A and B are shown apart, each in its own frame.
Chain A
Amino acid sequence: MTRAMTITEKILADHAGLDAVSPGDLVNARVDVALGNDITAPIAIREFRELGAQKVFDRERVILVPDHFTPAKDIKSAIQVKTVREFAMEQELVHWYEGGESGVEHALLPEKGLVVPGDLVIGADSHTCTYGALGAFATGVGSTDLAAAMATGEVWLKVPETIRFVFNGAPGPWVEGKDLVLYTIGKIGVDGALYQAMEFTGPAIDNLSMAGRFTICNMAIEAGGKNGIIAPDAKTLAYVEGRGLRKHTLFSSDPDARYIKTIVFDCSQIEPQVAFPHLPENTRPVSQAGDVPIHQVVIGSCTNGRIEDMRSAARVLKGNKADRRVRLIVIPATPLVWRQAMAEGLFGIFLDAGAVISPPTCGPCLGGHMGILADGERCVATTNRNFVGRMGHAKSEVYLANPAVAAASAVAGKIAHPADVAGK
């Protein structure tokens, strides 16, 4: 009889070839997917060569997606993408996506079925934790760790303690996955889950769409978490069905699994949230945001660039126009989201509202391109970080919110509640 384990512990044990693991154990684990992008892969490729490695461990499992400064924003970025492209070609990688095939990596991989429940994924991008929404263990690493995994197909990991979050109650109108995770970070702080697994449970999670679950797990890193994870259920299976390229394994926590703590929230008490500069923990209910005039709104990113997010923004923007002082930038995260948004007529709503519709890119989220802020400018963004200088000038400001709040703010010209713009 093996000991009771959490879902995170079970996936790690499985990939380490062990019957059981405990928090604090160091394990060498098999990697199902190793991911890099145009910022992190160039260093990983350099280190891969430094190691003297010739071939990646599996050309179907090393995935490279240039998405950060793409389409290349300048010569240096183009050189970085070129480095990665040449490596992808040399190694005959199956999953290399560029140009019209490319999308924001953490929206693209699940959509293409490249991550399935039960996987262990490492990515040289901190938001790799997104895939926890599929019931996978996924964590961000640096380029050197990626290089080692590209060569060996393995990674050493310390088994983390797990914090269990229980989301009870029914969230009110306009409250999305983004609000639940911002609220959580506001309560526990940007290091509230340092080195730990964040397991999201409860009826509100059960009722949440896959898009909302991806958003929640995506921001586990903003609380310092090693991974965010949600046990797979019928919704997960429905999502994976027809996409998953590999066989999946369903893991879930044992009822008597050990947690370092359990934190319970009542979602009926949670309003749409806004994280004020310059940390994601500086959250307030939007009703208490006060009078904050803004200059830009960005709707997109690995956090909120999925079709559900586009629909949420469109619902608020329909028949409305962005304030003339606000640049509204909408970035569907993948080619499929783009096509879907276009087919559903959302682009007409966005264009009527005065929006710029960008090709899929991480672009402005990290101050790359496609919407950089000047000094003194403020942006409401559906992205994940509001650090100093994150979207441009060191004296600019980023306010994090869900797509409906961002859309409402674009219309109002200041931080606004969607109900005040769209009614109801």
Chain B
Amino acid sequence: MQPIEGRVWVFGNDVDTDLIIAARYLNTSDPAELAKHCMEDADPGFAAKVQAGDIIVAGKNFGCGSSREHAPISIKAAGAACVIARDFARIFYRNAFNTGLPILECAGVSGIQSGARLRVDFDKGVITVLDSGETHVTKPIPPFMQELLAAGGLMPYIKRKLAARV
């Protein structure tokens, strides 16, 4: 995966799935529709402000609560290129990869402010704050998971692999 650069939006600890996409919008699974309400109860203007390639940075236990896959789908469809958090709730963690949303666990990002610009190198697991040059090292995303993300999620990845076998 190519390294990405983007502007940061900071959220706190225990960002739950209702904050990411409130259940009142779960009467659809259309990504474009879900994107409009991404993070609405945490920051009502987020969906309008976030731009393609932006990066969400958060504290511990990001994505706790429901199993709704609508959560990573809405983040991805809203344009965010990646979520970096101290750690993730386990169902969200699986769902993010399964739906093709890159996520990284990194404890060191807690001091980063909204508006900062980051460079994320998924191969090396290096996160650089562009203004200050400060770097944070985390576990890189392994090659097969990068392939899965590049395919757009688990199903397209499996499909691609099955096709390659034929």
Contacts and interface: CB of A to CB of B under 8 A. Distances in A.
Interface of A: 39-40, 42-43, 46-47, 50-52, 68-69, 73-74, 76-77, 80, 123-126, 128, 140-145, 147-148, 190-191, 194-195, 221, 224, 226, 279, 366-368, 385, 387-390, 392, 394
Nearest to B97: A144
A142 B18 contact: no
Contact of A51 (B18, B19, B27, B159): B159
A191 B156 contact: no
6 contacts: A39-B68, A69-B26, A73-B27, A76-B27, A224-B61, A389-B24
Contact of B90 (A76, A226, A387): A226
Given A39-B68, A143-B69, A279-B14, A191 B87 contact: yes
Contact of B154 (A148, A190, A279, A366): A148
Contacts of A77: 27
Given A50-B159, A76-B27, A368-B23, A141 B94 contact: yes
Contact of A388 (B41, B68, B90, B158): B41
> Which one of B61, B68, B87, B155 has the highest number of Cβ atoms from chain A below 10 Å of its Cβ?
B155
B100 to A, nearest CB: 10
B74 interface: no
A409 to B, nearest CB: 23
Contacts of A191: 14, 60-61, 64, 87, 89
A137 to B, nearest CB: 14
- Give the size category of B's interface with A: 35 or more
A38 to B, nearest CB: 9
Interface in B61-89: 61, 64-70, 73, 87, 89
Contacts of A190: 14, 61, 64
B6 interface: no
Contacts of B28: 76, 80
> Which one of B27, B40, B155 has the highest number of Cβ atoms from chain A below 10 Å of its Cβ?
B27
Nearest to B62: A191
B16 interface: yes
Nearest to B87: A194
Contacts of B1: none
A388 B18 contact: yes
Nearest to A68: B26
Nearest to B22: A389
Contacts of A224: 61, 64, 89-90
A87 B69 CA distance: 19
A367 B41 CA distance: 13
Nearest to A191: B61
> Which one of A76, A128, A368 has the highest number of Cβ atoms from chain B below 10 Å of its Cβ?
A76
B42 interface: yes
B1 to A, nearest CB: 20
A200 to B, nearest CB: 19
A68 B98 CA distance: 23
A52 B162 CA distance: 10
Nearest to B60: A191
A144 B64 CA distance: 18
Contact of B29 (A43, A123, A128): A43
> Which one of B26, B61, B73 has the highest number of Cβ atoms from chain A below 10 Å of its Cβ?
B26
Contacts of A390: 18, 23
A385 B89 CA distance: 15
A69 B27 contact: yes
Nearest to A365: B23
A169 B13 CA distance: 35
B42 A388 contact: yes
A224 to B, nearest CB: 6
A195 B90 contact: yes
Nearest to A44: B69
Closest 9 CB pairs of A and B: A142-B95, A76-B27, A144-B98, A366-B23, A389-B41, A191-B61, A142-B69, A394-B41, A126-B67
Contacts of A50: 155-156, 159
A145 B61 contact: no
Given A190-B14, A224-B89, A390-B18, A124 B41 contact: no
A148 B70 CA distance: 17
Contacts of A195: 90
B91 interface: yes
A148 B98 CA distance: 11
A225 B24 CA distance: 25
A143 B98 CA distance: 9
Interface string B11-40: 000101011001110111100000000001
B86 to A, nearest CB: 10
Given A76-B27, A387-B18, A387-B19, A142 B98 contact: yes
B149 to A, nearest CB: 13
Given A144-B98, A190-B64, A385-B18, A74 B91 contact: no
Contact of A125 (B14, B67, B153, B159): B67
Contacts of B162: 52
Nearest to A43: B29
Contacts of A68: 26
